[in-house]
A and B are shown apart, each in its own frame.
Chain A
Amino acid sequence: QQPVQSPQAVILREGEDAVINCSSSKALYSVHWYRQKHGEAPVFLMILLKGGEQKGHDKISASFNEKKQQSSLYLTASQLSYSGTYFCGTPQDRPGAGSYQLTFGKGTKLSVIP
């Protein structure tokens, strides 16, 4: 089951804040966040492993609400370099494989303009 991201796209001016949400219909054990710039490979931002955990990476932080089965990514005082598509990934059980692999959301396209 693919996690649902919202919004699909957002445009910000430099210095503005944004929140990207990722929700799942199944119980979450961890959430990954990645950013992909146009034509490039996705780059890892952070993993949240516990319900209620919050992490920060420069001015990008995230929270994980296990009970609500959702995670949010917070971008504060956005910079031009924050532009790109943000993906969340959540673990999905693969029958017969004996392990959980990530299923990614469709992404949120963030555009930061001067």
Chain B
Amino acid sequence: DGGITQSPKYLFRKEGQNVTLSCEQNLNHDAMYWYRQDPGQGLRLIYYSQIVNDFQKGDIAEGYSVSREKKESFPLTVTSAQKNPTAFYLCASSSTAGSYNEQFFGPGTRLTVL
């Protein structure tokens, strides 16, 4: 079955540590996205990638980094520079970039900083 997988489902981190969230898709989609979700805030775009080896900052990129070395993978690193990283992180993909294509979401990773 095609879809998006994210791991781990729950992640705990100590302050000052970097952590990497995994996102893999087997839908053969060109575009991939990372969103952050906080209660009452909706989905906020962190980074997106329109094609392999290319990515762009979204609305809240500070304290995060990404890479897109393979079409199916788009990992997100939450660095120690991110002041308030506790949140629910969602990865998504669409066939191509742009606003006319449906986005498919992964199950999410809930990150908690202790």
**Residues of A that sit less than 8 Å from B by CB:** 2, 29-30, 32, 34, 40-44, 47, 49, 87, 89-91, 94, 96-97, 99-107
Instruction: Name A30's contact: one of B48, B90, B100, B105 (CB within 8 Å).
Output: B100
| Min CB gap A3→B, angstroms | 9
B50 at the interface (CB under 8 A from A): yes
Expressed in whole angstroms, the Cα–Cα distance for A107 and B99 within the complex equals 18
Partner of A103 from the list B40, B45, B90, B103 (CB cut-off 8 Å) is: B45
Chain B contacts to A: CB under 8 angstroms: 33, 35, 40-45, 48, 50, 56, 58-59, 90, 97-100, 102-108
A104 touches B98 (CB 8 A): no
List residues of chain B with CB within 8 A of the CB of A49: 100
Whether A40 and B107, one on each chain, are in contact in the complex, defined by CB atoms closer than 8 angstroms, is: yes
Name the CB-closest residue of A to B40: A106
B45 contact set on A, CB distance < 8 A = 101-103
B42: which of A44, A47, A94, A104 is its contact (CB, 8 Å)?
A104
Assess A105 versus B58: contact at CB under 8 Å? Given A40-B107, A42-B105, A99-B98.
no
Chain A residues within 8 Å of B103, by CB: 32, 34, 44, 89, 102
| In the bound complex, CA of A89 to CA of B105 (Å) | 14
Sample (10) of A-B pairs whose CB atoms are under 8 Å apart: A30-B99, A44-B104, A47-B100, A89-B43, A91-B99, A94-B56, A99-B98, A101-B45, A101-B58, A102-B99
Bound Cα distance from A101 to B90, whole angstroms: 16
A87–B98 CB distance below 8 A: no
Please determine whether A97 and B56 come into contact, CB atoms closer than 8 angstroms: yes
| Contact of A87 with B97 in the complex, beta carbons under 8 Å | no
A94-B56, A99-B50, A106-B42 known; A41-B100 Cβ under 8 A:
no
